[in-house]
Structure 1
Amino acid sequence: MKSNPTGLDQLHDIITAAPAPWWPPAPGWLWLLAIVTILLIGGCIWGIIHYQQNRYRREALAELAQLESNAAHSQYQHSQHQHTTLCGMSTLLKRTAVTAFPRPEVATLTGPAWFAFLDSTGNTRFSEGLGNKLESVIYQITDQPLQASEITALIAEIRIWIRQHQQANDPAKSGTTDTTASKQEAA
């Protein structure tokens, strides 16, 4: 008997292809992996740079905490100790500003101009009287020390300024030049 080529006895199981291997992936996945890796490396580098650039803030906040602790453990009523503590806070504020901003712009500022600078760069309220109290205690040793609430408010404002001040843009990095200096040289 002749076999029928279309008969059911001639049917075999369908042979499927082997599953696609996981490695090496398709080129699209390789591109995605490369882009994600570059973004992760870039993010890590940015994070490290940002962390290093804000080191002065962490150091200033640590020093402020130490000054605050020293002031809290001693009596605020002692005028000489209060004077020393407040001088340390003022010096810390100026050193932090000189670190963050160009020295010629900051180093010469005193009085209302200094307080206006602090207010404009750090969203603080030194011009509303706190700065004047700090300045009067530093430059005029009096028998009337500041109240504990005034010192607490002053420390809070210094802490806010250290945390929130906006750093100046470096003209050398941004490609801009100081137009006032070049106008004075031209004249």
Structure 2
Amino acid sequence: MQDPTLLLRDIHQPPAPPFWPPAPGWWLLAGAGLLVLGVVMAVRWERAQRRRGIAAIFDSAVAEAPTPVDEVAAISQLLRRAARRIDPSADRLRGDAWLEFLDRHAGDGRRRRRSGAADGGFAGAPGRLLLEGAFRPEIDVDPADVAALRSLARARFQQWMAAK
């Protein structure tokens, strides 16, 4: 038997795990997080490149137009091409039906009112240039209206061309 006077020590706890290096599970979690971050960044970069390319197509086609009347014609042609992505028969619309289509398919998830002047749509003064601007004498076309139409049409063109 054992001697009762023998000094016994209590069971001791193991030392706490060190902070570094982390356990393998944390390495896997960090790797998965970096992978997800890389994929998200790659997708965003690709979308930005696509948006820049679409904007360059619009800008170069409009810049090639020598006169404001030709700019309006180029803008109309680009919008009709892009509208075919939304509705295959959209390029055949004429007059107010065409302007209503441009306002209705704003792509922002809500229906637009038809009063173009109130919400900056195509039914307002800049959008009316699409109906008659290409047929007006050059003196009647206001460059400020053409610039307003260009910015409105550029946004809609990018919106429609970026849609899948």
CA-CA distance at 1:55 after TM superposition = 5.1
In structure 2, stretches of 5+ residues that fail to align are 1-6, 8-14, 107-111, 113-119
Distance 2:100 2:26 in 1: 55
* % identity of equivalent residues: 23
Instruction: Figure out how many residues of one structure are paired with residues of the other and give that number.
Output: 141
**Paired letter, 1:125:** G
Give the root-mean-square deviation of aligned CA atoms: 3.6
Distance 2:138 2:161 in 1: 37
CA-CA distance at 1:165 after TM superposition = 5.1
TM-score (norm 1): 0.55
Counterpart for residue 22 of structure 1? 20
CA-CA distance at 1:64 after TM superposition = 5.9
Change (3 A) 1:105 1:130: same
Question: Which protein has the larger Cα radius of gyration, Structure 1 or Structure 2?
Answer: 1
TM-score (norm 2): 0.61
2:155 is equivalent to residue 160 of structure 1: yes
Counterpart for residue 142 of structure 1? 137
2:82 is equivalent to residue 87 of structure 1: no
Contact conserved, 1:57 with 1:96, CA < 8 A, in 2? Answer: no
CA-CA distance at 1:142 after TM superposition = 3.5
CA-CA distance at 1:43 after TM superposition = 0.7
1:31-110 paired onto structure 2 within 5 Å:
31-51=28-48, 53-54=50-51, 56-63=53-60, 66=63, 81-98=67-84, 101-102=85-86, 104-110=88-94
CA-CA distance at 1:40 after TM superposition = 1.4
CA-CA distance at 1:136 after TM superposition = 1.1
**Paired letter, 2:100:** A
In structure 1, stretches of 5+ residues that fail to align are 1-5, 7-16, 72-80, 170-187
Distance 1:143 1:85 in 2: 11
**Paired letter, 2:69:** H
**Paired letter, 1:27:** P
Instruction: Tell me the alpha carbon deviations over residues 24-76 of structure 1, each in whole angstroms, 9 at most, x when there is no partner.
Output: x3133123213312311321342244235535532234326625xx66xxxxx
CA-CA distance at 1:106 after TM superposition = 2.6
**Paired letter, 2:20:** W
